[in-house]
Amino acid sequence: MGLTSGTLIVTAIVVAAASMAAIVWAWPRLAGQQLTHLAVRLGLIAVSQVLVISAFLIWLNGYFSFYASWSQLFGVRAAPRAVAARQAPQSRKPVTIYASQPGPLLGQRGPAPLAAPAGGAGALPRNGSGPGAAVTGKLLQVTIRGERTGLNSGPADVYLPPQYFQPAYQRVRFPVVLALTGYPGMVGGIVNRLQLPEVAARLLAAHQIKPTVFVMLGVSPLMPLDTECTDIPAGPQVESFLAQDVTHAIQQSFRVTASPAGWGTIGYSTGGYCAAKLAMMYPDRFSAAVSMAGYYQALRGQYVPDLWGGSIGYKLENSPIWRLEHLPAPPVSILVTSSRVGEGSLRGTLAFLKAIHPPMRGYSLIIPQGGHNFHTWSRELVPSLEWLSRRLTAG
C-alpha cells in the first residue's frame, strides 16, 4: 500500500474514527476508580490521539506529495557522496521511459511499459505516435541519468504536446520548460496537485501557449537530502545535474531545441529558488524562469552537514540577490510571484525585484491574498505559463 495511495489515506481516517468511537463505547465500561481502569482509559486516549495525528499526517503527505514512498520517508541519512554513487542506473540511455499515458489525465498515468527511444531525437514519434498522441499528447514517466554527475532524477515526467506527433511539426524542435518541485516534494505534486500537464494542454488547445515540452522532476535527486540545487564541494553535483545533465539528456532523447532561447524553468518554493538560480547561473542553457513563492538567498539544506564546504564566498555565489548586487546581471528574464497577504516570501521577492538591472529583466505577479500552498500556486500557474510561452522559441 503506497504512502500516497488513496487506500492508505481512507484506511487511516477510518481507523482513527473507529478509535474515537471505541473510546465512546468503552468509557462507561471502564469507569471504575481502580488504577487498572485509569491506565486503560489513558491508554485508549493515547492510542486514539496517535491514530488521529497519523491520519492527518498521511492525508497531508498525500495532498502535498512530500514523500512518495515508505523508503523515502524512512531514508537513511547516508553521506552525500555515498548516496550519489548509488544513484547512477545501469542503463546507458540518458532518458529511460518506463510508462506512458496518452494525454495529461490527472492521476491516471498508465503502467504500460514503453521502451526508451533508441534513435535519438526523432525516434519517439515513430514508437509512440498514433491518433491518440496526435490529439492529446503523451505523458511519459521517465528516469533521467546524469552522464556527467552520475546522478539520476528518480521518478520524473515528460509531457509531449500533440504537435510533437503531428506530421506538420515533424521538423520542429520544440521549446522546453523544466518544472521543479518544492522541498520536500515529489513530481506527483506537479502532476496531481498543480496539474501542470492538464493546464498546459488546456492552454495549448485554446492557443494561449505555444506547443512546448514539459519536463517535471523533484528538486532533489537525493531525497531525503535537501541540496538546494547546489554543487556540493566534494559531494553530489546537483546544480550541474539539473542545468547540464538534464538539458543534455532531453536534447538527446527528444526533438527539442538546443538553443537557450527555447529553454525556460519554473518552480515553486525551493523549486522557485532553484529556477531563478539556474537561469541566472546558466544563461547559456536557459533564457527565462518563473519563481513561484521562491526565495533568493542561499539557505542551509536539511540532512546535509555543509552545502558550501565551509566557504562563505561560495554560499553567497549561490544567492540570486547577492549575484545581482555584486556580479554582472545575466541576459535572462525572470517572473516572480507572491501574495501581499499570507505569503512569507513577499519581502524577499520585492527586494529581489528591486535589485534586478539590465540586461536582466524582471516581472512580477503579486496577488492580493494567498498562502504557501498549491491552491495559491494553481492560481498563478496560467499567467506564468503564458508569460513563459511568449519568451520561448522553437528551434
| pLDDT, tens digit (0-9, with 9 covering 90-100), for 224-253 | 889 999 999 989 999 999 999 999 999 999
CB 356 within 8 A of CB 334: yes
- The model's pLDDT over 59-109, given as tens digits with 9 standing for 90+, comes to 666 555 555 555 555 554 333 333 333 333 444 679 999 888 887 754 443
Tell me the helices (H) and strands (E) count for the chain, helix number first: 15, 9
- The model's pLDDT over 279-322, given as tens digits with 9 standing for 90+, comes to 999 999 999 999 999 999 988 877 776 889 889 999 999 999 99
Nearest to 181 by CA among 242, 107, 267: 267
**From CA 146, how far away is CA 328, in angstroms rounded?**
29
**From CA 49, how far away is CA 256, in angstroms rounded?**
52
Nearest to 178 by CA among 206, 138, 147, 212: 212
Angle in degrees, CA 55, 57, 60, rounded to 5: 110
**From CA 154, how far away is CA 294, in angstroms rounded?**
23
User: What is the pTM for the complete model shown?
Assistant: 0.76
Nearest to 385 by CA among 248, 206, 140, 239: 206
- The model's pLDDT over 6-40, given as tens digits with 9 standing for 90+, comes to 577 777 788 878 888 887 877 777 777 777 777 87
**From CA 255, how far away is CA 279, in angstroms rounded?**
22
What pLDDT is attached to residue 306?
82
Categorize the per-residue pLDDT at 1 as very low, low, confident or very high, splitting at 50, 70 and 90.
low
The cell numbers describing 287, all together, are: 533564457
CB 180 within 8 A of CB 265: yes
Compute φ and ψ for 369, nearest 5 degrees. -150, 140
Note if the bond before 224 is cis, omega within 30 degrees.
yes
